[in-house]
Structure 1
């Protein structure tokens, strides 16, 4: 039986730019990087030792290798217990952020990476 979400595949146009965004602006860490000569992938995760990580794959390479694969951006919702601080920090780093919205389950805002992929963050205390 499935016990947890292990990795999420994120297909990006520029892997180096994506790594820079997630590490320098969002505060993730590079967990590992693999390159078998043809295919390169980078595993990143929140720096606090999260169980689930994101794998950054080269979108162009994967689309040639597996043309039928859906390479769309997954809808990811991250949790934080410091929503206002994160919002301010991302804004100061020139990350595109949406308005903070009050939802029945908590406050949330969206942010975009350098390729205009949007993600959400919800406050969890």
Structure 2
């Protein structure tokens, strides 16, 4: 039986810019980087070295040629933070597109876009 989400694949046009966004702007770290010497390169990133779920950055064009029927759309991801206001202000200072902070059942949330206009959400859970 499945017991956790291990990796989430993100298909991007520019892997180097995606790495820069996630590491320099958002604060993720590189867990590993692989290249099979046949043009397939992937970079595993995460918010910390002990994160249970990681993101894998794949080259969208390369994967599309290898697996033409694969859905290469951006998954709808919700990240969690302990300090939504600090993250929000940090992203604004970095000139990242952010949505308004809104309250929803369970906490406050806003969305943000990477350099390729893929949107993600981040939530600070409320005290229950």
Structure 2: state its 5+ residue gaps: none
Match of 2:100 in 1: 99
Match of 1:67 in 2: 68
Structure 1: state its 5+ residue gaps: none
1:69-88 superposed matches below 5 A: 69-88=70-89
Match of 1:108 in 2: 109
The TM-score normalised by the length of structure 2 is 0.95
**In structure 1, C-alpha distance between the alignment counterparts of 2:53 and 2:17, rounded to whole Å:** 21
1:122 aligns with 2:126: no
Q: Between Structure 1 and Structure 2, how many residues are aligned? A: 125
| Offset from partner CA, 1:50-85 (integer Å, 9 cap, x none) | 110000000000000000000000000000110000
**In structure 2, C-alpha distance between the alignment counterparts of 1:48 and 1:99, rounded to whole Å:** 30
**In structure 2, C-alpha distance between the alignment counterparts of 1:80 and 1:34, rounded to whole Å:** 29
**In structure 1, C-alpha distance between the alignment counterparts of 2:50 and 2:86, rounded to whole Å:** 20
CA RMSD for the aligned pairs? Answer: 0.9
**In structure 2, C-alpha distance between the alignment counterparts of 1:48 and 1:90, rounded to whole Å:** 22
The TM-score normalised by the length of structure 1 is 0.97
**In structure 1, C-alpha distance between the alignment counterparts of 2:79 and 2:50, rounded to whole Å:** 14
| Offset from partner CA, 1:12-69 (integer Å, 9 cap, x none) | 0000000000000000000000001120000000036211000000000000000000
